[in-house]
Structure 1
Amino acid sequence: MASVLDYYVDAFSPQSLFGFYHLVGLFSIVILIWMWGLGYLVIRANPNSMENRFISILLVCEGLKASFLALDFFVYSSPWQDLWDVLFPLKMETFMTAQIVSILLYLSFPVYYRVNILKFMNTETMKNHVWYIAPLLGTLFWLFLRTQDGFTFDNASWIICSQPGTEPIIQNWWGTVTEQVLQYAEDIGTCSRPFDRAVVEEPMGLWGIILLGPVISLVGLLFLRASMKQSQRETESLTNVGVLPSRSLYIGFLGKVIGQIIFFVFVLVILPTLNGGVFFEFADSIRVQYGADPTAYDRILYFIWNFTLIIAPVSVGFEALMFVHATLKDTVFGIDSNLRKTFTNTIFTGIGAMSFLIVSEAMENVVGYGMLGGVLIGGVFIVSRRPILTFIDGISGKLIPSEYSESELKYLEAFKEAIEDNTINSRERKLLANLADAYGIEQERLDHIEQLYKDSLDSNRVIKDDDSEE
Structure 2
Amino acid sequence: MADVGSPVSYYFRAIGTFMGYWNLLAIFSILSGIFLLFLAYLILKANPQKAKNRFMALMLVTEAIRCFTAMLFWLYAWPEDALNFLKPARVAYYTMSLQLFILYMVAATFYSENKWAKRVSEFFKIHGLYILPIFCLSVILITSHFLGGTNVSIGDISWIYCESMGPGQGSTYSGEPLPFEPMCSEEFESVYPLTFTNVVIGPLSRILLFVPLLGAIVATVSLSLSKNRIYKSEDSNLIGEVRAVRLGFIGKTVLQVTTTLILFWMMSIIGGPPTLAVNPFNPNIEITTALYILPPLMPTAVVLAALFEGVIFTYAVIKNDMFGIDERLRKTFTTTIFAGLGAILFLISTELMESVFNQGWLGGVFIGLTFILMRKPILSTLGVFSTKLIPESHTQEELGYLEMYSLAMKDSTITVNERSMLNLQANAYGIDDERKAYLERWYDDLQNLVGEDTDLAGKYGKSGINMMNVFATTGEAPIDENEIKKAFISMDINSDNVISEEEFFAAPEVSKLPPKSRLELFKAIDLNDDGVIQFDEFKIQAQITESEVLSSYKEDAYIEAYQVAMEDLIITADERKMLTIQAKTLGISKERVSELERTFDLGLGLDEAE
**Aligned 8 A contact 1:156 1:199 in 2:** yes
Q: Residue 419 in 1 paired to residue 425 in 2?
A: yes
Would you say 1:331 and 2:321 are equivalent positions? Answer: yes
Q: Distance in 1 between matches of 2:248 and 2:422?
A: 30
Compared CA separation, residues 62 and 9, structure 1 to 2 (3 A): closer
1:363 alignment partner in structure 2: 353
Equivalent AA in structure 2 for residue 8 of structure 1 = Y
8 Å Cα contact 1:263/1:311 also seen in 2: yes
d(CA) in 2 for partners of 1:416 and 1:277? 69
Q: Secondary structure at the match of 2:146?
A: coil
Q: How big is the alpha-carbon RMSD for the aligned residues of Structure 1 and Structure 2?
A: 3.8
Q: Name the amino acid aligned to 1:46.
A: N
Question: Cα deviation per residue 1:200-231 (whole Å; 9 max; x = unaligned)?
Answer: 55422122112222122211222233334532
Report matched runs for 1:16-35 at 5 Å. 16=18, 19-35=20-36
Q: 1:442 to 1:149 in 2, by over 3 A?
A: farther
Residue number in structure 1 paired with 2:305:
315
Q: Would the alpha carbon gap of residues 40 and 422 (structure 1) be closer, same or farther in structure 2, given more than 3 Å must change?
A: closer
Aligned to 1:217: 216
Q: 1:160 to 1:235 in 2, by over 3 A?
A: closer
CA distance in 1, matches of 2:364, 2:18: 15
Equivalences for 1:159-174 in 2 at 5 Å? 159-164=160-165, 166-171=166-171, 173-174=173-174
| 1:291 Cα offset (Å) | 6.1
Once the 2 structures are TM-superposed, how far is the Cα of residue 381 of structure 1 from its aligned partner?
1.9
C-alpha separation in 2, matches of 1:205 and 1:110: 27
Which residue pairs with 1:261 in the alignment?
257
Instruction: Give, as a single letter, the amino acid of the residue that structure 1 aligns with 2:26.
Output: G
CA shift at 1:301, angstroms?
2.9
Given the two structures, how large is their TM-score scaled by the length of structure 2? Answer: 0.60
Cα displacement (A) at 1:392: 1.8
Report what 1:272 is aligned to: 267
TM-score by length of 1: 0.76
In 2, the alpha carbon distance for the partners of 1:376 and 1:89 equals: 40
Residue equivalent to 1:428: none
Tell me the amino acid that sits aligned with residue 235 of structure 1: E
The one of 119, 141, 145 equivalent to 2:143 is: 145
Query: For residue 121 of structure 1, what is the aligned residue in structure 2?
Result: 116
The aligned counterpart of 2:342 is 352
Q: State the Cα deviation string for residues 144-198 of structure 1 (Å, max 9, x = none).
A: 123121662155553333321x234434543321xxx324x47x68564344334
In the TM superposition, residue 293 of structure 1 has moved relative to its aligned partner by 12
Q: 1:412 to 1:13 in 2, by over 3 A?
A: same
The residue type equivalent to 2:117 in the other structure is N
Q: Distance in 2 between matches of 1:94 and 1:416?
A: 52
Judge conservation of contact 2:40–2:56 (CA < 8 Å) in 1.
yes
Aligned-residue sequence identity (percent) comes to: 24
**Contact 1:22 / 1:72 at 8 angstroms: preserved in 2?**
no
Superposition pairs of residues 189-204 of structure 1, within 5 angstroms: 192=187, 193=189, 194=192, 195-204=194-203
Q: Which residue of 1 aligns with 2:179?
A: 182
Unaligned runs of 5+ in 1: 424-434, 450-468
Alpha-carbon contact 1:360-1:370 (below 8 Å) kept = yes
The separation in 2 between residues aligned to 1:2 and 1:189, in whole angstroms, is 15
Q: List per-residue Cα deviations over 1:41-75 (Å, max 9, x = no partner).
A: 32232232111121111111111112224643654
TM-superposed deviation, 1:362: 0.9
Distance 1:157 1:386 in 2: 45
Which moves more between the two structures, 29-38 or 101-110? 29-38
| Cα distance change, pair 83–386 in 1 and its aligned pair in 2 (3 A) | closer
- The separation in 1 between residues aligned to 2:455 and 2:427, in whole angstroms, is 21
* Closer/same/farther in 2, CA of residues 231 and 329 from structure 1, 3 Å limit: farther
Alpha-carbon spacing, 1:256–1:283, altered in 2? closer, same or farther (3 Å)? farther
Deviation at 1:313, TM superposition (A): 1.5
Equivalent in 385, 404, 408 of residue 395 of structure 1: 385
CA contact (8 A) 2:157 2:198 kept: yes
Flag structure 2 segments of 5+ consecutive residues without an equivalent: 407-420, 430-453, 458-466, 472-478, 486-534, 537-586, 588-610
SS state of the match for residue 3, structure 1? coil
Instruction: Work out which of the residue numbers 15, 19, 28 in structure 1 matches 2:17.
Output: 15
| Aligned mates of 2:40, 2:116 — CA distance in 1 | 24
1:175 aligns to what SS in structure 2? coil
Distance in 1, Cα, partners of 2:307 & 2:426:
35
Partners of 1:331 and 1:66 lie apart in 2 by 27
The structural deviation recorded for 1:112 is 1.3
What SS does the aligned partner of 1:48 have? coil
After TM superposition, list the pairs within 5 Å mapping 1:448-467 onto structure 2: none
1:248 to 230, 244, 247: 244
Whole-Å separation in 1 of the counterparts to 2:110 and 2:53: 10
Tell me the distance in 2 between the aligned counterparts of 1:314 and 1:45.
25
Aligned with 1:352: secondary structure? helix
Contact in 1 for aligned 2:315/2:390 (Cα 8 Å): no
Say whether 1:88 aligns with 2:78.
no
1:437 to partner: Cα distance: 11
**In the TM superposition, what are the counterparts of 1:47-58 in structure 2 within 5 Å?**
47-58=48-59
Mapped partners of 1:172, 1:421: distance in 2: 62
Asked if the contact 1:156–1:201 (Cα under 8 Å) also holds between the matched residues in 2, the reply is yes
Report SS of the residue matched to 1:219.
helix
State the structure with bigger RCO (CA 8 A, min sep 6), 1 or 2.
Answer: 1
Residues 252 and 308 in structure 2, CA contact (< 8 A), matched pair in contact too: yes
Q: Structure 1 CA distance, aligned partners of 2:276 and 2:298?
A: 11
Write the letter of the residue equivalent to 2:116.
Answer: M
Q: 1:45 to 1:190 in 2, by over 3 A?
A: closer
Q: How far apart, CA to CA, are the structure 2 residues paired with 1:68 and 1:390? A: 34
User: 2:363 maps to which residue?
Assistant: 373
Q: Which moved more, 1:384-393 or 1:198-207?
A: 198-207
